[in-house]
Amino acid sequence: MGIFLILFPDEHHQQIQSTHDNHPISKKKPINFNLFPPSFSLPSSLKRTNSANLLYKAQSAISICALLLFTILLLFTISTLPSAATTTAAAARRDYRYPPRRKLNGVSSSGRSSSPRALQGMGTLYRRGTRAMNDLIVAHAVESLTSYDFRMFLRLLHRSGTTSKSDILFVFPSKSPVFDRAIREENDYFMRLVDQYSTNTTQTNNHSSSFPSFKQTHFLKKIDSSKHTGEPIWGRKTRSNFSSEEGAESRRLSYGSVVGFDVDELDPENSLSGFLDHIPMSIRRWACYPMILGRVRRNFKHVTLVDMKEVLILDDPFDKIRGTAMESVMVIPKSSNEKHGRRNSNKVQSLVTPTVIIGGDRGVRRLSDMMLTEIVRASMQKKRRNSATESSLLNQLVANSFVSQKVTLIASTESIPESGSAIYKANHGMVKRGGANVDVNYTIMKLICSFPVESTVYSDCYS
């Protein structure tokens, strides 16, 4: 509200002056007003007129102020009450700009995952495990990995029993609703297998194939209720899944968490972009490991780095390194068909494959840090800026004596066998996918669907 300043003319003075000018004496002789006697006063009619004018103007000013105040209050009240038309129009604009998302198998049609974050506001939590695990499998997807290849890797991993002791962490080149859908469907297949085999325990014994069958006993662990098993580090903290209602010791379902991260989350600045012109996923993944492995340090005892395009896991890969020091790292030699072009047998035997690296948490972290440094160092050499491969850099790093001061290298005596006849043998923990002329996925699916329970669980067995 403003302040109204009302100015009234000095009518009293004007009336006195007018009376003085009309006086007959004033025409003859100027009168000094200072000579007026003290008893001089205005006529009563002039006093009444002046008082009436003042009262009328005061009333008018008060009426105007009241009217303005009422108008302002009315406008303020109307402005705070949105009309129905405005609300409807705003809702229509909002629905037009942001239409509701339809979900398909847990994945929205827009491609964004509806799952919670995995760790510190990053990643996607596809499945939270029943307890804290000691082992972590970090599997990365290269650009050429198809959704069917990815399904086979995850399906065999669930069937191997490895997920009963390990968490799974996927590193993707970018967000992919196709991979999201595959993870959720395979998680659902896994839970259905556990449920089906709990009521069909005798069916696997009658199967003649040597291909490893699904064993529900892998996922049933003896849990001492008096001991705290620990919660998974992924997602929000909840109450422990194990209670002490059924006695001091019982067998409970045990499986690990499944999480996924994009390279832009783990390496948001693309730290190698200033060193290399072309950065494939096989190289950029080494820039992601320091971030994620540093955040989960001391939460896991063993870590496996694996390329899902090249390797299939049929059994627990950590069995060969259990009991070793936390600084130890096992490197696996290349297979015979990967060693062609070398004449020196000593150099051939020293070649290792970067597709699988297994070791203690501390050893794998140190090796990944040194591998990233090796990539940057090689990029600064003009001749090797874009020609250095992941395999050559890793072999050069392993041959460096400085590495042995930080990491205890363990050389495996066996290479990863090729798929084919090896996939029928349960004693192989891992196999390599065959060449382009071998349809490994078809062979695997044919074997899996030969089991009675699996043939009713997996939709692609009867599609």
Q: Tell me: the pLDDT tens digits for 305-335?
A: 999 999 999 889 998 898 899 999 999 998 7
Q: Is residue 336 over pLDDT 60?
A: yes
Give the per-residue pLDDT at 198: 80
Contacts of 394 by beta carbon, 8 Å cutoff, 6+ apart: 352, 354, 371
Convert the pLDDT of each residue in 378-393 to its tens digit: 888 866 666 778 999 9
Give the per-residue pLDDT at 305: 97
Please indicate, yes or no, whether residues 287 and 386 belong to a single structural domain of this protein.
yes
Write out the residue range of the structural domain in which residue 70 sits: 44-79
Q: Is residue 300 over pLDDT 90?
A: yes
Q: Is residue 463 over pLDDT 50?
A: yes
Please indicate, yes or no, whether residues 195 and 309 belong to a single structural domain of this protein.
yes
In a domain, 20, yes or no: no
Q: Which residues pair with 139 in a beta bridge?
A: 170, 306
Distance CA 416, CA 310 (A): 10
Give the per-residue pLDDT at 53: 74
Lowest mean pLDDT among 189-203, 269-283, 344-358: 344-358
Please indicate, yes or no, whether residues 49 and 189 belong to a single structural domain of this protein.
no
Give the per-residue pLDDT at 342: 44
Give the per-residue pLDDT at 280: 93
Higher pLDDT pick, 178 / 244: 178
Q: Is residue 285 over pLDDT 70?
A: yes
Q: Is residue 339 over pLDDT 60?
A: no
Give the per-residue pLDDT at 136: 97
Largest interatomic CA distance in the chain: 148
Please indicate, yes or no, whether residues 306 and 186 belong to a single structural domain of this protein.
yes
Please give the share of the chain, as a percent, with pLDDT higher than 70.
Answer: 67
In a domain, 418, yes or no: yes
Please indicate, yes or no, whether residues 61 and 134 belong to a single structural domain of this protein.
no
Contacts of 453 by beta carbon, 8 Å cutoff, 6+ apart: 193, 196, 197, 200, 203, 204, 214
pLDDT interval class at 40 (50, 70, 90): very low
Higher pLDDT pick, 51 / 361: 361
Could you tell me the CATH number of the domain that includes residue 290? Answer: 3.90.550.10
Q: Could you tell me which of 139, 401, 434, 108 has the C-alpha nearest to residue 259?
A: 139
In a domain, 282, yes or no: yes
Q: Is residue 348 over pLDDT 70?
A: no
Give the per-residue pLDDT at 265: 95
In a domain, 197, yes or no: yes
Distance CA 228, CA 225 (A): 7
In a domain, 92, yes or no: no
Please indicate, yes or no, whether residues 262 and 367 belong to a single structural domain of this protein.
yes
Give the per-residue pLDDT at 47: 54
Give the per-residue pLDDT at 92: 38
- Return the axis-axis angle of helices 440-448 and 147-160, rounded to nearest 10°: 40
Distance CA 68, CA 235 (A): 59
Please indicate, yes or no, whether residues 437 and 288 belong to a single structural domain of this protein.
yes
Mean pLDDT of 345-353: 59
SS (H, E, C) 388-453: CCHHHHHHHHHCCHHHHHHCEEEECCCCCCECCHHHHCCCCCEEECCCCCCCHHHHHHHHHCCCHH
Q: Is residue 91 over pLDDT 70?
A: no
Identify whether the C-beta of residue 396 lies closer than 8 Å to the C-beta of residue 350. no
Query: Is the full-model pTM beyond 0.85?
Result: no
For residue 111, the one-letter residue type is: G
Query: Environment class of residue 332 by beta-carbon count within 10 Å: exposed (0-12), middle (13-18) or buried (19+)?
Result: buried
Please give the share of the chain, as a percent, with pLDDT higher than 90.
Answer: 39
Q: Is residue 87 over pLDDT 50?
A: no
Q: Is residue 88 over pLDDT 70?
A: no
Query: 64: number of CA atoms within 13 Å, CB side?
Result: 11
Convert the pLDDT of each residue in 134-173 to its tens digit: 999 999 999 999 999 999 999 999 998 999 999 999 999 9
Distance CA 445, CA 451 (A): 10
Give the per-residue pLDDT at 384: 64
In a domain, 403, yes or no: yes
In a domain, 3, yes or no: no
**Which of residues 60, 79, 98 is at a domain's end?**
79
Please indicate, yes or no, whether residues 367 and 279 belong to a single structural domain of this protein.
yes
Higher pLDDT pick, 3 / 182: 182
In a domain, 35, yes or no: no
Please indicate, yes or no, whether residues 190 and 50 belong to a single structural domain of this protein.
no
pLDDT interval class at 25 (50, 70, 90): very low
Convert the pLDDT of each residue in 392-427 to its tens digit: 999 999 998 888 889 999 988 888 888 766 665 556
Please indicate, yes or no, whether residues 73 and 163 belong to a single structural domain of this protein.
no
Give the per-residue pLDDT at 291: 93
Identify whether the C-beta of residue 236 lies closer than 8 Å to the C-beta of residue 116. yes
- How confident is the prediction for the chain on average, in pLDDT? 77
DSSP, collapsed to helix, strand or coil, labels residue 405 as helix
Please give the tally of structural domains in the chain. Answer: 2
Please indicate, yes or no, whether residues 128 and 75 belong to a single structural domain of this protein.
no
Please indicate, yes or no, whether residues 177 and 53 belong to a single structural domain of this protein.
no
DSSP 8-state assignment for residue 461: G
Give the per-residue pLDDT at 140: 97
